[in-house]
Structure 1
Amino acid sequence: MRRAAEEDAAEEAAGPGGLRGARSELRQRVRERRRLRLGILVLVSVVLLGAIPLFFGIRTLSRDPVFDALDQLDVPGWATAETVDNVSGSRWCLQDCRLRERTAESERAPEETARVYERALAADGWQPWKVTRCPERPAKGSYTCWRRDELTLDLWVREPTCVPPPVDGEPAVPPSRAASAAPPAAGECAGSLVSVKVRNAIDDERTRPQPSTDPSLTGEDPYPTFSGDPLGELTRSPS
């Protein structure tokens, strides 16, 4: 009887301590889970906040905004077929400023194509630019120059260069017979070719004042020509 009572007393004494230990361990596990969830939430937030600006930054760097502006011109689809874009130089004008070039094919004649492009450029805020060396070299077709803000734009619309499609990887007309070959039919060589060149105004030599060669503006010769002995006659000093 005495031993049983002692065992019961020992269990009662150990019971509250065992419950307190279990509760403490449970609270510790709950706190660890909360910390883990909070850490995961912070990590996901950092990844999302960093990935979104990085995505748009890469997209901005890879796609020139000038081409986006050209895409938004109110030009009908028949005048923007087979569009090809090329870019060279640095956007920040390191060594060479950026040059944007776009070529497109139009299904209609050069005169009508030039009108729709010029109308779209004017509606988008481009101003006709009457400047010498526009074009810089003689060019057939319609060649006009435009300016807007810090950019200059050259628009060239002309007849397409009609070349018969190759046959089995070889030119349809050999070079020796190209000059004497009959031109293709009108229906096979219709439409027009469009070229757009956009440059930074500071990199366009036509925006800089050209030196004048007018003789009336040269003034007096800073290096006059002397005739005879420049020292003149020597005079003897009195003795």
Structure 2
Amino acid sequence: MRERRRLRLGILVLVSLVLLGAVPLYFGVRTLSHDPVFDTLDGLDVPSWAAVKTVDNVSGSRWCLQDCRLRERTIESQQGPKETAQAYEQALARDGWQRWKVARCPEQLPDQPAKGSYTCWRRDELTLDLWVREPACVPPPVDGAPAPSPAPSPAAETCTGSLVSVKVRNAIDDERTGPQPSTDPSLTGEDPFPTLTDDPLGELTPSPS
């Protein structure tokens, strides 16, 4: 009887230890695998028609071990770019984001301006790029097949709504937050190597023997 009681007590202690360790482990793994930035984006007060379909993508490290984390979200809206951009800009402002007027917004080349509405925002340690544009109505090629002809089709005529792209980065990893390097060729600094001349004053003074 004593052996049975000891065995039952040991089993109860073992089960208790497993449960006490499994619950914190479960919540810890859940916290590490879930990005709170996406929770912030989910909490934006936008109409239901402005977030019909959402696709998220994450890259980089949360602790910036090599590359800092980059959060990207693509959203489909049922309304046009103007109405959709207005809805998201108002929602970001209500959520504490502030418009960020920076030279490289949008991050496009001067000869390739971004179509639609492209705005930049900042809040705490994060930066956010919001791009609202017309949807891509022409389907991409499948299995290496050539792209369809650009001639209008019935499917293209019924293509409505807009496409929203949201990119969130850590401010320390956003090169636009710091001073931009100058490309002025005149600001090259001084030559570290002195120019050799025949000036006797430039020669070393011999030490007395």
Judge same fold: TM > 0.5, yes or no: yes
Residue 199 of structure 2 aligns to a residue in which SS? Answer: coil
Stretches of structure 1 that go unaligned for 5 or more consecutive residues are 1-28, 235-239
Aligned with 2:124 (options 149, 153, 167): 149
User: For the Cα contact (< 8 Å) 1:162–1:184, is it kept in 2?
Assistant: no
User: For the Cα contact (< 8 Å) 2:137–2:156, is it kept in 1?
Assistant: no
- CA 1:54–1:206: 2 relative to 1, 3 Å: same
Confirm whether residue 74 of structure 1 aligns to residue 31 of structure 2. no
Identify the structure with the greater helix proportion: 1
Inter-partner Cα distance in structure 2 for 1:221 and 1:59: 55
TM superposition shift of 1:37: 2.9
TM superposition shift of 1:75: 1.7
Inter-partner Cα distance in structure 2 for 1:128 and 1:209: 19
Inter-partner Cα distance in structure 1 for 2:139 and 2:167: 27
Query: Computing the radius of gyration over CA atoms, which structure comes out larger, 1 or 2?
Result: 1
What residue is the counterpart of 2:198 in the other structure? 231
With normalisation by structure 1, the TM-score equals: 0.71
User: For the Cα contact (< 8 Å) 2:115–2:133, is it kept in 1?
Assistant: yes
Q: Which amino acid aligns with 2:197?
A: P
Residue 153 of structure 1 aligns to a residue in which SS? Answer: strand
Inter-partner Cα distance in structure 1 for 2:166 and 2:152: 31
Write out per-residue CA displacement over residues 127-167 of structure 1, whole angstroms, 9 at most, x where no aligned residue.
1111110001020101111111111110000000112599x
| Counterparts of residues 32-47 of structure 1 (less than 5 Å) | 32-47=3-18
Paired-residue identity, %:
73
Inter-partner Cα distance in structure 2 for 1:107 and 1:188: 12
Stretches of structure 2 that go unaligned for 5 or more consecutive residues are 202-209
User: For the Cα contact (< 8 Å) 1:157–1:193, is it kept in 2?
Assistant: yes
What residue is the counterpart of 1:51 in the other structure? 22
What residue is the counterpart of 2:205 in the other structure? none
Confirm whether residue 201 of structure 1 aligns to residue 171 of structure 2. yes
Confirm whether residue 99 of structure 1 aligns to residue 70 of structure 2. yes
User: For the Cα contact (< 8 Å) 1:105–1:194, is it kept in 2?
Assistant: yes
User: For the Cα contact (< 8 Å) 2:77–2:84, is it kept in 1?
Assistant: yes
When structure 1 is superposed on structure 2, of 196-205 and 75-84 the one drifting more is 75-84
Inter-partner Cα distance in structure 2 for 1:160 and 1:113: 12
Inter-partner Cα distance in structure 2 for 1:73 and 1:67: 10
- CA 1:83–1:53: 2 relative to 1, 3 Å: same
With normalisation by structure 2, the TM-score equals: 0.81
